Structure 1
Amino acid sequence: MSGMLARYEKLIASGELRADPDQRRAAIRLDTLQKELEADAPGGLLGQLFGRKKERPQGVYMWGGVGRGKSMLMDLFHSTLTINEKRRTHFHAFMQDVHAAMREARKSVSGDPIPPVAEAIAQDVRCLAFDEMVVNNSADAMIMSRLFSQLICEQGVTIVTTSNRPPHDLYKDGLNREHFLPFIDLIDGEMDVLPLNGPTDYRLDRIGDLATWHTPLGDEATEKVREAFFRLTDFAPEDAEHVPSEELAIGAKRTMHVPKSLKGVGVFSFKRLCAEARGAPDYLAIAQAFHTVIIVGIPLMGPDSRNEAARFVTLIDALYEHRVKLFATAAAAPDQLYTAGDGSFEFQRTVSRLNEMQSDEYLALGHGADY
């Protein structure tokens, strides 16, 4: 199997990727890391001569806006890395596993459960790769510095991760952020930070010929948003039943189930979002966590649906203000969704926003309220 850089250059030569200087710099750095990890493997050159090295190779933190190729580079790195002691996982799923492992460890360990949990994680892993490192709840923030210090400094695990934010913006304005700041120092000291933050959103190339609003409800509309999901996430359509879900943190003690969550794309039903008792904090958490949201089953609403319509207005406001890309299946065009009932006149602002969110200009915007 060819290495990271060779595979990347082959994709450029074939026309599957555009030449991009930021991507190439990242590919070169990841290729170097591959060689270091492979040389340090039990069967590698350094492993044969000296046994396993005491110092692990420096990790990599790639950050940039949506569609800059971070996940693509991670795919190439992981698939061409020829060691067995590697693991790639979504960051949310990893942290959920960590919290579950800590609950179990507390049953049998007196004292700090983090060292034994980190040791267990590192048992068969020398390179741990994350897609989309994002910190949006205090439970994760409180333990990350100690957990990753154990993994990197004590267990010798090399971390490779992507994120939409530079390290100093992680958990920005979060509760008790002072406890999280040592983690940022750890990134600066133990990982190479690589920006991929140019103006081009390559992901738009994948959805440029797809409409975002699909009506009427039915199999054809559903198939269109399914196609958008698989284009945006690179997940094989034939493996749809294995798309991961997520428990999205809403404040300190609540979570929301996201039926399908992958690479910053979240899929929800209108019923789950707007027929249940939800408010602005729920919708803000969604808007912050996902660069693209797919909502299925938006119905016609009337006087008996005023609560659902009001929640839908709040939801769209949050998505719009955070430049979230929206794909939807609906019973009608936006201007026909809610024409009679309390707030139907005010609903016209939401209609205007829904129409704007379908425009090329809106879709070209980066994700985030202060982008």
Structure 2
Amino acid sequence: MEGVSPLKMELPVNRAMSARYDALIASGEISEDPVQRQAVRQLDLLNTRLAETRLASKKSSLGWLFANKKNQLWSAVQGLYMWGGVGRGKTMLMDLFYEVTVIRRKRRVHFHEFMTDVHERIHAHRQAHKRGEVKGDDPIPPVAEQISEETRLLLFDEFSVTDIADAMILGRLFTQLFEKGVIVVATSNVEPSKLYKDGLNHQLFQPFVQMLTTRVEILHLDSPTDYRLEKLAGAPVYITPLGETADARMDEIWTKLTHGMRPHTAELENKGRRIAVPCVAAGAARFTFDDLCMQPLGASDYLRIVHAFSTVFLDNVPVMSKARRNEAKRFIILIDTFYDNGVKLIVSAQAEPQNLYTSDDGTEAFEFDRTSSRLIEMRSEAYLAGERPETRA
């Protein structure tokens, strides 16, 4: 049931976001930004409305006869859809709102992970129907019921629709979720009208977009400043050699880039496999070399990480010899994937890029020349600013 924790009661509901944002400014973690300030005000208004609706719904919670009225109260609350380029502070604002919102029955999830969960629930229902355990062959109503019972507030990171199966489900699923009073706050790199742009049967997706725009306020975070790039400006993003100094420097950059927010763990799903993400904060992820190159991961797994995070920290990259060519091969694929997708990579390594692989023969030795070249380019200001080689020609 929704509630207010003792910690959150220390801040007035209608100023909770502003207080946290002001504290980050006062500490020097961030600079005042008028566009972010507008988002903070809207999130404070939303938090206030959630608190008011929670109080009103409690007065109506006298049994199942009032369930529809309670859903109607929550359905009247509009969520928020924040979109804009990388580094504009969307994830930071989402982190702050997740911390201060009065709602306890909340779920913060990457949009792709949410849809994976939905597909798994749909599959489970169909299997149960085959076994005669449940009635009704349409899985959407019971799945929507499950989600609405678990979650009042859905917070989506990186709302994007690229899969036709997702596109076909979204309209029916969210029609029911919104009717059951689920509120959505989302971040995205694109405005709603460009979700699933040029996708197969795109016209069938338009009713969902139209519905979404009636259930959320749309806010364009169009600040001209890429704050993530600004925080990396002048900072070494390839740190060598390994040791306490390198560890401390990586921690310092991590804290600066994530505004000192408390990190959490996460899991990504890819083709039935789970990829553990040991450290996540403010839209950045942190792994060790062993996490990504000592495990049986491949190109599609690394691409899945790319789709979830635009900034990645990679700790403790060792010097590799022919005896570790499996790890070297994975590292080559990892760097290729990150490079091709413009990921901002902060690395601590045992040696400079050109000295990370010591064997002179074999395919890996040849391919590692490209890897070392890319690592050198990925530490350049031009790469960090998003300039690709073809744009600099």
Letter in 2 for 1:42: L
State the partner residue of 2:171: 145
Q: Where do 1:37-186 residues align within 5 Å?
A: 37-43=50-56, 54=73, 55-82=75-102, 84=103, 86-91=105-110, 92-106=112-126, 107=128, 108-109=133-134, 110-123=136-149, 125-135=151-161, 140-152=166-178, 154-171=179-196, 180-186=205-211
Q: Which amino acid aligns with 1:119?
A: E
Q: Any conservation in 1 of the 2:106–2:151 contact (CA below 8 Å)?
A: yes
> Residue type matched to 2:277 in 1?
P
Does structure 2 retain, via aligned residues, the 8 Å contact 1:115–1:150?
yes
Q: Per-residue displacement from partner, 1:121-155 (whole Å, max 9, x unpaired)?
A: 32365433233334465664453332222111x21
Find the residue that maps to 1:199 and give its secondary structure.
coil
Write the letter of the residue equivalent to 1:111: D
TM-score (norm 1): 0.77
The SS at the match of 2:371 is helix
Partner of 1:322: 341
CA distance in 2, matches of 1:137, 1:219: 44
How many angstroms apart in 2 are the aligned matches of 1:278 and 1:288?
16
Contact 1:85 1:124 survives alignment (8 Å)? no
Q: Report the CA distance between 1:115 and its aligned residue.
A: 1.6
C-alpha deviation, 1:158, in angstroms: 1.9
Are the equivalent residues in 1 in contact too, given 2:107–2:151 (CA < 8 A)? Answer: no
- Asked if structure 2 preserves the Cα contact closer than 8 Å seen for 1:279 and 1:311, the reply is yes
Q: CA offsets, 1:158-202, max 9 Å, x none?
A: 211112333344455667766655433332332222111333122
Q: Tell me the CA shift for residue 326 of structure 1.
A: 0.8
The answer to whether the 8 Å contact 2:267/2:276 transfers is yes
**Alpha-carbon separation, structure 2, partners of 1:112 and 1:244:** 34
Q: Percent identity?
A: 41
Is 1:198 aligned with 2:210? no
Which of the residues 232, 236, 239 maps onto 1:214?
239
Q: Partners of 2:39 and 2:257 in 1: how far apart?
A: 21
2:6 — aligned with what? none
Matched residue SS, 1:89: strand
Gaps of 5+ in 2: 1-10, 62-68
**TM norm structure 2:** 0.73
Q: Distance in 2 between matches of 1:337 and 1:258?
A: 25
> Partner letter of residue 181 of structure 2?
G
Asked if the contact 2:241/2:350 (under 8 Å) is kept, the reply is yes
TM-superposed CA distance for 1:65, in Å, is 2.4
> Contact 2:141–2:176 at 8 Å: present in 1 too?
yes
Q: Which residue identity is paired with 1:113?
A: P
Once residues 278 and 81 of structure 1 are traced to their aligned partners in structure 2, the CA distance between those partners, rounded to angstroms, is 37
Contact 1:212 1:358 in 2 (8 A): yes
The residue number in structure 1 matching 2:377 is: 356
Aligned equivalents of 1:194, 1:26: Cα separation in 2: 7
SS at match of 2:334: helix
Conserved 8 A contact 1:297-1:330: yes
The whole-number CA distance in structure 2 between the counterparts of 1:313 and 1:9 is: 40
- Give runs of aligned pairs for residues 207-356 of structure 1, distance below 5 A: 207=232, 210-218=235-243, 220-233=245-258, 243-249=264-270, 253-255=271-273, 257-260=275-278, 262=280, 263-271=282-290, 273-274=292-293, 280-305=299-324, 308-339=327-358, 340-343=360-363, 344=365, 347-356=368-377
Q: Quick one: distance in 2 between partners of 1:156 and 1:57?
A: 8
**CA deviation digits over 1:52-85, x for unaligned, max 9?**
5555222211012232122332344344444x46
Distance 1:25 1:132 in 2: 20
Partners of 1:330 and 1:268 in 2: CA distance: 13
In structure 1, the gaps of 5 or more residues are none
Aligned to 1:30: 43
Cα shift at 1:304: 4.8
Q: Give 1:336 shift.
A: 0.6
In structure 2, C-alpha distance between the alignment counterparts of 1:183 and 1:260, rounded to whole Å: 34
Alignment check: 8 A CA contact 1:288 1:322 kept: no
Distance 1:273 1:138, change over 3 A: farther
Match of residue 14 from structure 1 = 26
Q: CA deviation at 1:316?
A: 1.9
Structure 2 CA distance for aligned equivalents of residues 220 and 71 of structure 1: 29
Deviations 1:9-68 (A, max 9, x none): 7448737443323212222332333333333333489989xx855552222110122321
CA distance in 2, matches of 1:255, 1:139: 19
Deviations 1:189-239 (A, max 9, x none): 3222211133312234555575322333455544544554454445756xx
In the alignment, is the contact (CA less than 8 A) between 2:24 and 2:259 conserved in 1?
no
Q: Contact (CA 8 Å) 1:244, 1:260: kept in 2 or not?
A: yes
